């Protein structure tokens, strides 16, 4: 591939992503004066990463330290003066500078004096960077893995002392020598997560500070995919890419391997800064020149901008959810609330959902066929909204060559008005629009096919079971309900970003509320997604004339009231599922999905492992996130047990949930009575035989009695 300057269109794409340069130390003075910074920006770089202090400051710190002979006394380090720093305040280029903390300090030194001096230096540097108007400072990670707590404490103190600066901890992806196995018989290194462990300790001790993030060094040899996926869930602000890891293409231009390209493509979804390192040195080697031209050095920048223009196209879900990644949204309550037209319109933009519904209706109508006396098949669209399913039913009728009569039942008075308009302009005599709650509606004719779109992100979380139970009494004994069934599915997950977002609001109800989330910065911890429960329609527990499960008066709007004494106990559910965890991590909550059988082989799914097979490009539903108030650490080869309850008091429905974690240890001592007799899924993998299962911890029971979150009947 021949390198050339980016075209205008490419520049527009590249403007969404940021590329920086870390100049060689020998070139710092020329790079960081006003002209140098502006020259770098003109050349196409967005930022320069520059050391805050210079060797003169280090010499001064060394002199002060040596002047205090008593090892018990910590020298007082003065803030840097003009001759100690590499740049001065300048609003013109402050936005283009990332400060770099001194690499020679040792916050984690076992020598208390060295650690204390290092902590002073860090505070001085952060303070000066903040004074100069910088937003980010990059600090080197710990030098020792056995003193991370001291490092994190010093970092936390510095963050508290300088409240307007963001700190980026520069870390390797994995230890040197940890790389992707080269064949099926090659085992990944045992401790591939050791660097992530260090980062996890730092951010935990710093209490998930929103001003603390990661600067990840991209290695020449990539670690296993489990490590790549784990870091993807972390707050990565910078990717450091050394020019030394580039390869030369047949024409001699620098390129990255396919594996490195795929890694960058994945991480670019988070839009981090990419900072190029060692550009001059790599260019000298590549061109065999001691004084390579600026154009030669720009080849690496041009290539990075080229990568931005060839990013894989976003999926349908990514396009639909753009701007909502990891953003918490309360689930809809269409039974209790009347939705706005704009909300209906958003969901009507999903062509896959309505294509599947239309296919299901076509099959159901084909099975019903034309009655012997040429009476139309009676179809009820319950919860008709703005009428998309009514239109689906009419199109399916034409395709199946089966005449139908449609009831469009809707309780939202504003949507009802809109339906009347569509009837007059589009549907006319084939459709009767009914203003009613489906649970107390009494049609003139019994229903042959009842269709609804009441599914939520967890299947039943928008009260589809309760709504359809109330409407089932008007269905013929041979009637069909679409959907025929739906099931809830879940898996434990790690998402520091979501946990930090919830934690920052410091409200008890938020930690006890399920949220709809377009997940991005998340790592699924378990090896498989599991089913929680299922609902079927028509409900086998209800007779033909069973009333609605809502108890007591429930006013929906003027003149429309439900007052009925049926019980909703048959819609309670409880499940306890065990998940095997191969690689250690932190559990912040669990993700919920659903699958639905609309009719026969026509299905919907939001599960990431089945959505492409059952309903590719379905976008109407984001997953649901069940948070836990305290993160739980799970080691390698451990297990997580999640218990979920769906409960009702006949006035509302709510979920309760709790989590337990276990570690698996080979062997089973004689006479031991404190072990779970249930066989573990990973017993064989852990020891080739029986394992001892030791409880590590558990969460509280969340949302007890629906105190914080519930769905009103």
The residues assigned a catalytic role are 453, 462
Q: Residue 263 and residue 224: Cα distance in Å, rounded?
A: 11
What's the DSSP call for residue 179?
Answer: -
Going by C-alpha positions, the residue among 89, 87, 99, 107 that lies closest to residue 136 is: 99
Biggest CA-to-CA distance, the chain: 108
Residue 658 structure tokens: 């709790």
Q: Residue 357 and residue 604: Cα distance in Å, rounded?
A: 9
165 φ/ψ sector (left φ>0, alpha ψ -120 to 50, else beta): beta
What's 171-197 look like in SS3? EECCCCCCCCCCCCCCCCCCCCCHHHH
Q: Residue 214 and residue 235: Cα distance in Å, rounded?
A: 6
Going by C-alpha positions, the residue among 675, 525, 673 that lies closest to residue 590 is: 525
Q: Residue 642 and residue 456: Cα distance in Å, rounded?
A: 21
Q: Residue 273 and residue 14: Cα distance in Å, rounded?
A: 12
Which residues on adjacent β-strands are paired with residue 493? 524, 589
Instruction: For the chain, give the number of residues.
Output: 713
Per DSSP, the residues of 98-135 read: EEE--TT--TT-SSHHHHHHHHHHHHHHHHHHHHTT-S
Q: Residue 295 and residue 199: Cα distance in Å, rounded?
A: 38
What's the DSSP call for residue 424?
Answer: I
**Residue 662 CB contacts under 8 Å (≥ 6 apart), including other chains:** 638, 639, 640, 641, 676, 680, 693, 694, 695, 696
Q: For strand 560-562 and strand 554-557, is the pairing parallel, antiparallel, or unpaired? A: antiparallel
CA 170 remoteness from chain centre? 23
Going by C-alpha positions, the residue among 530, 644, 645 that lies closest to residue 593 is: 530
Residue written as token pair 């204390």 = 116
């Amino acid at each position: 591939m021949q390198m050339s300057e980016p075209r205008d269109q490419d520049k527009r794409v590249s403007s969404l992503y940021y590329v920086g340069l870390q100049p060689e130390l020998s070139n710092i003075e020329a790079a960081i004066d006003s002209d140098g910074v502006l020259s770098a920006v003109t050349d196409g770089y967005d930022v320069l990463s520059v050391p805050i202090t210079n060797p003169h400051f280090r010499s001064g710190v060394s002199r002060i330290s040596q002047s205090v002979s008593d090892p018990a006394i910590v020298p007082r380090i003065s803030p840097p003066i003009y001759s100690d720093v590499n740049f001065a305040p300048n609003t013109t280029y402050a936005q283009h500078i990332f400060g770099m903390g001194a690499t020679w300090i040792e916050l984690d030194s076992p020598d208390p004096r060295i650690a204390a001096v290092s902590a002073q230096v860090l505070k001085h540097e952060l303070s000066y960077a903040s004074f100069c108007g910088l937003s980010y400072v990059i600090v080197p990670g710990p030098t020792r893995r056995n003193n991370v707590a001291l490092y994190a404490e010093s970092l936390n103190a510095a963050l508290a002392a300088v409240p307007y600066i963001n700190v980026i901890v520069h870390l390797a992806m994995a230890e040197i020598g940890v790389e992707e196995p080269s064949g099926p018989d090659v085992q990944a290194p045992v401790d591939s997560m050791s660097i992530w462990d260090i980062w996890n300790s730092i951010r935990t001790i710093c209490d998930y500070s929103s001003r603390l993030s990661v600067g990840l060094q991209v290695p020449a040899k990539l670690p296993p995919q489990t490590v790549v996926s784990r870091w993807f869930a972390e707050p990565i602000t910078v990717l450091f890419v050394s020019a030394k890891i580039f390869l030369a293409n047949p024409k001699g231009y620098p390129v990255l391997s396919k594996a490195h390209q795929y890694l960058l493509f994945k991480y670019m979804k988070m839009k981090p800064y990419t900072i190029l390192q060692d550009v001059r040195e790599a260019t000298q080697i590549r061109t065999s020149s001691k004084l390579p031209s600026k154009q030669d050095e720009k080849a690496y920048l041009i290539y990075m901008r080229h990568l931005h223009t060839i990013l894989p196209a976003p999926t349908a879900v990514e396009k639909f959810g753009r701007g909502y990644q990891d953003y918490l949204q309360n689930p809809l309550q269409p039974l209790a609330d009347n939705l706005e037209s704009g909300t209906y319109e958003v969901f009507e933009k999903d062509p896959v959902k309505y294509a599947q519904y239309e296919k299901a209706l076509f099959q159901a109508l084909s099975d019903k066929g034309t009655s012997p006396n040429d009476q139309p098949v009676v179809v009820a669209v319950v919860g008709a909204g703005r009428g998309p399913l009514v239109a689906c039913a009419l199109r399916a009728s034409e395709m199946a060559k089966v005449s139908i009569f449609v009831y469009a039942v809707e309780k939202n008075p504003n949507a009802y008005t809109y339906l009347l308009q569509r009837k007059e302009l589009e549907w006319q005599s084939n459709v009767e629009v009914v203003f009613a709650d489906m649970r107390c509606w009494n049609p003139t004719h019994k229903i042959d096919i009842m269709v609804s779109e009441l599914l939520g992100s967890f299947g039943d979380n928008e009260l589809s079971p309760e709504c359809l139970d109330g409407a089932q009494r008007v269905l013929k004994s041979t009637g069909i309900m679409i959907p025929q069934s739906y099931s809830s599915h879940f898996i434990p997950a790690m998402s520091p970003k979501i946990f930090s977002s919830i934690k920052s609001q410091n409200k008890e109800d938020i930690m006890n509320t399920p949220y709809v989330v377009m997940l991005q910065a998340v790592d699924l911890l378990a090896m498989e997604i599991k089913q929680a429960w299922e609902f079927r329609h028509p409900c086998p527990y209800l007779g033909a004339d069973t009333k609605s499960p809502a108890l007591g008066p429930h006013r929906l709007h003027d003149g429309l009231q439900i007052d009925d004494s049926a019980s909703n106990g048959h819609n309670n559910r409880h499940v306890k599922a065990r998940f095997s965890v191969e690689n250690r991590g932190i559990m912040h909550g669990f993700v919920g999905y659903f699958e639905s059988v609309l009719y026969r082989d026509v299905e919907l799914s939001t599960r990431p492992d089945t959505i492409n097979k059952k309903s590719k490009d379905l976008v109407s539903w984001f997953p649901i996130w069940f948070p836990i108030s305290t993160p739980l650490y799970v080691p390698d080869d451990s297990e997580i047990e999640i218990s979920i309850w769906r409960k009702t008091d006949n006035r509302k429905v709510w979920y309760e949930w709790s989590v337990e974690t276990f570690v698996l240890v080979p062997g089973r001592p004689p006479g031991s009575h404190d072990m779970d007799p249930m066989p573990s899924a990973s017993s064989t993998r852990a020891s080739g035989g029986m394992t001892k299962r030791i409880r590590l911890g558990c969460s509280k029971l969340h949302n007890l009695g629906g105190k914080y979150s519930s769905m009103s009947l």
